[in-house]
Chain A
Amino acid sequence: MALSGMRGLSVFISDVRNCQNKEQERLRVDKELGNIRTRFKNEKGLTPYEKKKYVWKMLYIHMLGYDVDFGHMEAVSLISAPKYPEKQVGYIVTSCLLNENHDFLRLAINTVRNDIVGRNETFQCLALTLVGNIGGREFAESLAPDVQKLLISSSCRPLVRKKAALCLLRLFRKNPDVMNVDSWSDRMAQLLDERDLGVVTSSMSLLVALVSNNHEEYWNCLPKCVKVLERLARNQDVPQEYTYYGIPSPWLQVKTMRALQYFPTIEDPDTRRSLFEVLQRILMGTDVVKNVNKNNASHAVLFEALALVMHLDAEKEMMSQCVALLGKFIAVREPNIRYLGLENMTRMLMVTDVQDIIKRHQAQIITSLKDPDISIRRRALDLLYGMCDVSNAKDIVEELLQYLSTAEFVMREELSLKIAILAEKFAPDLSWYVDVVLQLIDKAGDFVSDDIWFRVVQFVTNNEDLQPYAALKAREYLDKPAIHETMVKVSAYVLGEYSHLLARRPGCSPKEIFSIIHEKLPTVTTSTIPILLSTYAKILMHTQPPDLELQNQIWAIFRKYEGCIDVEIQQRAVEYLELSKKGAALMDILAEMPKFPERQSSLIKKAEETEADTADQSAIKWRAQQQNSNALIVTDQHPANGTPPISQLGPVKVPSRSNVDCDSADQREAQSNGTLTVVDPQPPSTSSPDLLGDLLSPLAIEGPQPAENQSDHNLGAGVKGDTIGEDALALAPIEEQMNTVQPIGSIAERFHALCLKDSGVLYEDPNIQIGTKAEWRAHHGRLILFLGNKNTSPLASVQAIILSPSHLRTELSLVPETIPPRAQVQCPLEVVNLRPSRDVAVLDFSYKFGTHLVNVKLRLPAVLNKFFQPITVSAEEFFPQWRSLSGPPLKLQEVVRGVRPMPLLEMANLFNSFQLIVCPGLDPNTNNLVASTTFYSESTRAMLCLVRIETDPADRTQLRMTVASGDPTLTFELKEFIKEQLVSIPTAPQAAAPPVPPQPQPTSPPPPSSDPGALLAGLL
């Protein structure tokens, strides 16, 4: 090939290789570049062969990292050389050196086009490769039709056609308009029928690109993909060269299964069945073998099959089988398989119902944390993080804490954050949470962001039971010889507030506490000193009657810092010194910190925000995004900045402040807003917009027991309110504050989503989350309400009453009156469907948070379609039934106008989602749909329902529907139900279901006999 004649190039490469160091290399390369430059400048004497040689040299030099921009033009000009060797070099080097925006490339566009439309196949190949690699928008516009022609031409060789397919893919990515969709979906389907597997492989990649952009237009390719897969899985017509280590084109199998994952579902039962047969065969028939390459190939196929099974939401049995396989993989010797096993198990978590089976492998997954491969350890960490819940949090978090000591530095920050989030989310009790975070700070203080220790302070402040425990723990850590500065901060803060609760224990007298904290002062930075000063002031305040010796000691420290260059330290020192001379009045001014307003963890909140954005997406994507969002937290950390923590933990400031102080406070306020995320609707106990506001407001001065003082708040603020603006909010009347408990997410949307699926969130606000999970059997239903308290304080006066319509018999188990902090209670609700009706049961739910009563009325997703069971009927069953139900009231017909326009396919999906299963092929007219289901109620028992929809392709806003069943009420209710679904937009908020008289009312006018649909109806 090219090299056979280029001695000069070999010599040059050899010279470069012989260079002893980078400097020598540079000299040699510079010399060569100079040579090339001169030769290019003086082109007359340059033979095509020499030009080719220099252009190759340039590519080599470019690879070594030197600038060869000057020669771009020469490379491009070789494209138009008449002979193959020069042309080839031009094409290859140009596509390595240039990008689509390069001006020189535009110069070549005509030559490239000539090569593509010309008859020389080798030239075609070169040109297609260039365009496929670096072609831009301009290429797309001018070349797409020609490339399309090559792809579908039967006279072209496969070698050209497969390149055309990938070239077209590039052009499509650059400009999606180049694919005229209408005609292409058929062409695409034909391409998948090709015999040559090379062409099919490239076409499959093209299909993936097209389908990922718009799956609806390529629906017709779905059965073809399944056929391709069957062809390969059964090894039919697979030539030897496409058999890789005995496996029929594993790569094409993988790509085909990938393509199938871009279609949301597979409707056609036959296609689905065939596909599952293939998948089952792959899942069962793959063994670990000795040959590495064969093993890789067969497992590539297997893992893709697993992904497809997850996507298709297979039967639970098959899913369990998949988890079992993955469980086997994570324990094998081959590290690649272990890695992929863990990764896929993490994806598996998104499939409902299998989490429990995954948990059985917990021990093995924990072992993977000790794997020699960091890639595998990371996957294990992701998986443990994903599978953690209340039941296993203790085990998992403890393992992660242990792992923290040995983990690489690069993983520690992520690990610390994950531990903190899990500890908070799933703490079985709060003292455990405190233990975990303190251990975390102890083991990996450098990696613990401020968010984490602020959060533990909030928990301790808000839970009186926890305070002595936290103080004791903090005291214990101070005994350690060397502790991290963050630990000094937390301990000093906690002991300043609560050390008096320990007073009777040995080593916990104010003096001892002071001296052990003060020991740390020389070791800390300026950001910690203000916290220590506050702690000293607090200790002094708690020492009543005053201990003169201690007082003198502390005053001496304050005096020492009065002249400190750091403004924050200086100010505190001055103020504390003055304040502490006020004697007993100090008690009021330096009182214990009030409770923080309930707020979501800034860590978790970020994770949940992403959740809200993706509510519509599939579970798999949702989880993936959630995981991303956690990664986002890691990268989004604010650098530890001395100022914000000080402002939060700062002592109460007297209302009369100097101007300087005001300014710095404002500044701090801004910063603290940036650091802590505290913007949810505020629960009632405080109403200041942010943390700093809470601490600066006179409320804090009021006294240590906010709960007791609740009624005094308004009074107190009223007296002093005019001094500080923020307090205006504290005066808000209670009614107004009630409104501040806003639901998170749309209640109506949540309800509608739950009408289509059986588990999910019914309601959420800042305090509570109500989830449901339902199982339906014939006319019985069991719906479990999950009431989760999101707060760190209990929810009281919890009440749930079911207002059930007459057709439902409901029984709700006992709902506890109080939900403990961060706990979830489950309340099963039994439902029996007595007769067909569209009325909806309502859950009247209320709870008290602080002094505020929150009441919501929620529709329960025990709706008509929950009592359907899918059934597919054949033509032999359908027609006799349809005929025997001859007219009103058992068979009703109505022309519905104002229908939300939608493609027939979407309508079919909608019907299927309600368990009204569309039976394709029963109606000869493709504009019509026929669907059937079985309805269960106590009065009707199992009752077959048949539906026919005739649409008008010219006017999608109207259709005629005919509904038939053996029960007049059912027929009517079902007809109205379908009408509601078609006319309304399901996500639009609706009032509770309007009362509907249960007796049937045949309202449809007799169909005009001229209607062509009527003739068909006669046939059916």
Chain B
Amino acid sequence: MIKGVILMNDKGKPRLVKFYDYHPAEKQQELIRRLYAVLSSRAENVSNFVKVDSLFGSDARLVYKTYATLHILFIFDSSENELAMLDLMQVFVETMDKCFSNVRELDIVFNFNKVHAILDEIILGGQVLETSSSEVVKAVEEISKMERAANSIMAVPSITGWQSR
């Protein structure tokens, strides 16, 4: 099971936090801080895997990857395959890339709600829901159609050009 997905920048600021096990708010912050400490201690050109049983209980593993200023972290238990998690992370990133055309940290900051919607199409209840990024994009586009239909009255310009894709 996937226990959580966290996006944070290289200064440890959370950009998206989604836990599939419930943690109270203070605990979440503590976990984010300690995960950031773990990431900071990692050198370059090392593996993407760290065991984090001290933070999340026995068997917990962390896979992380850094894209420019953004770290993406998946925490999961031994029922998942580490490399498959890395694949899934790539699917997530490619999907965001398609939705925001060349996603940058700022896109995620200002569209964190949209990122939540994308993530909900990839992972559900800690299980992998969809692994095809084109399927995810299709689902997200459908959502945005619904949005636009409801919002058509308000003609406020969009912040990013993602709708054109």
Q: A3-B114, A375-B46 known; A67 and B25 CB under 8 Å?
A: yes
Q: Does A336 interact with chain B (Cβ within 8 Å)? A: yes
User: Are B49 and A299 touching (Cβ within 8 A)?
Assistant: no
Q: Does B37 interact with chain A (Cβ within 8 Å)? A: no
What mask results when residues 134 to 148 of chain B are scored 1 for a CB within 8 Å of chain A, else 0?
110001101110111
Query: In the complex, which residues of chain B have a beta carbon less than 8 angstroms from the beta carbon of A7?
Result: 156
User: Are A303 and B81 touching (Cβ within 8 A)?
Assistant: yes
User: Are B45 and A198 touching (Cβ within 8 A)?
Assistant: no
Query: In the complex, which residues of chain B have a beta carbon less than 8 angstroms from the beta carbon of A170?
Result: 125
| Docked pose: A14 CA to B134 CA in angstroms | 31
User: Are A205 and B135 touching (Cβ within 8 A)?
Assistant: no
Minimum distance in angstroms from A147 CB to a CB of chain B: 12
User: Are A17 and B109 touching (Cβ within 8 A)?
Assistant: yes
Q: Does B50 interact with chain A (Cβ within 8 Å)? A: yes
Q: Does A63 interact with chain B (Cβ within 8 Å)? A: yes
What mask results when residues 289 to 303 of chain A are scored 1 for a CB within 8 Å of chain B, else 0?
000010011011001
Query: In the complex, which residues of chain B have a beta carbon less than 8 angstroms from the beta carbon of A335?
Result: 45-48
Minimum distance in angstroms from A150 CB to a CB of chain B: 14
Q: Does B132 interact with chain A (Cβ within 8 Å)? A: yes
Minimum distance in angstroms from A329 CB to a CB of chain B: 12
Kindly identify, within residues 93 to 145 of chain B, every residue whose CB is under 8 Å from any CB belonging to chain A.
109-114, 116-117, 120, 124-125, 127-132, 134-135, 139-140, 142-144
Which residue of the partner chain, among A14, A85, A197, contacts B147 with CB atoms under 8 Å? Answer: A85
User: Are A92 and B116 touching (Cβ within 8 A)?
Assistant: yes
Query: In the complex, which residues of chain B have a beta carbon less than 8 angstroms from the beta carbon of A197?
Result: 132
User: Are B135 and A198 touching (Cβ within 8 A)?
Assistant: yes
> Which one of A68, A99, A205 has the highest number of Cβ atoms from chain B below 10 Å of its Cβ?
A205
Q: Does A129 interact with chain B (Cβ within 8 Å)? A: yes
For chain B, the count of residues having a C-beta within 8 Å of the partner chain is: 68
| Docked pose: A195 CA to B12 CA in angstroms | 43
User: Are A242 and B49 touching (Cβ within 8 A)?
Assistant: no
| Docked pose: A378 CA to B52 CA in angstroms | 13
| Docked pose: A170 CA to B139 CA in angstroms | 22
Using CB atoms, name the residue of chain B closest to A7.
B156
> Which one of B81, B128, B163 has the highest number of Cβ atoms from chain A below 10 Å of its Cβ?
B81
| Docked pose: A60 CA to B120 CA in angstroms | 17
| Docked pose: A68 CA to B25 CA in angstroms | 9
User: Are B130 and A250 touching (Cβ within 8 A)?
Assistant: no
Q: Does A146 interact with chain B (Cβ within 8 Å)? A: no
User: Are B117 and A162 touching (Cβ within 8 A)?
Assistant: no
Interface residue stretch chosen among A224-232, A251-259, A384-392, A922-930 = A251-259
Using CB atoms, name the residue of chain A closest to B158.
A4
User: Are A1 and B139 touching (Cβ within 8 A)?
Assistant: no
Q: Does A567 interact with chain B (Cβ within 8 Å)? A: no
Which residue of the partner chain, among A159, A205, A252, contacts B139 with CB atoms under 8 Å? Answer: A159
Q: Does A952 interact with chain B (Cβ within 8 Å)? A: no
User: Are B109 and A2 touching (Cβ within 8 A)?
Assistant: no
Q: Does A166 interact with chain B (Cβ within 8 Å)? A: yes
Q: Does A186 interact with chain B (Cβ within 8 Å)? A: no
Minimum distance in angstroms from A396 CB to a CB of chain B: 22
| Docked pose: A373 CA to B90 CA in angstroms | 22
What mask results when residues 86 to 104 of chain A are scored 1 for a CB within 8 Å of chain B, else 0?
0011001000100110000
Q: A241-B135, A300-B81, A335-B47 known; A166 and B124 CB under 8 Å?
A: yes
Minimum distance in angstroms from B63 CB to a CB of chain A: 9
Using CB atoms, name the residue of chain B closest to A376.
B47
User: Are A372 and B86 touching (Cβ within 8 A)?
Assistant: no
Minimum distance in angstroms from A290 CB to a CB of chain B: 16
| Docked pose: A132 CA to B29 CA in angstroms | 24
Minimum distance in angstroms from B89 CB to a CB of chain A: 10
Which residue of the partner chain, among A83, A134, A373, contacts B150 with CB atoms under 8 Å? Answer: A83
Kindly identify, within residues 44 to 98 of chain A, every residue whose CB is under 8 Å from any CB belonging to chain B.
49, 56, 59-60, 62-68, 83-85, 88-89, 92, 96
User: Are A250 and B147 touching (Cβ within 8 A)?
Assistant: no
User: Are B110 and A65 touching (Cβ within 8 A)?
Assistant: no
| Docked pose: A47 CA to B71 CA in angstroms | 37
17 additional contacts (CB under 8 A) given A129-B124, A300-B82: A1-B111, A1-B140, A1-B143, A2-B113, A7-B156, A10-B159, A63-B16, A63-B17, A85-B150, A133-B20, A133-B125, A163-B124, A250-B87, A251-B87, A297-B84, A336-B86, A375-B46
Offer 12 A-B interface pairs, CB within 8 angstroms, sorted by A: A4-B156, A4-B158, A9-B113, A59-B116, A133-B20, A134-B22, A169-B125, A197-B132, A201-B130, A296-B90, A339-B47, A375-B47
A residues apposed to B, CB below 8 Å? 1-5, 7, 9-10, 13-14, 17, 49, 56, 59-60, 62-68, 83-85, 88-89, 92, 96, 99-100, 122, 128-129, 132-134, 159, 162-163, 166-167, 169-170, 197-198, 201-202, 205, 208, 241-242, 244, 249-252, 254-255, 258, 293, 296-297, 299-300, 303-304, 335-336, 338-340, 372-376, 378, 628
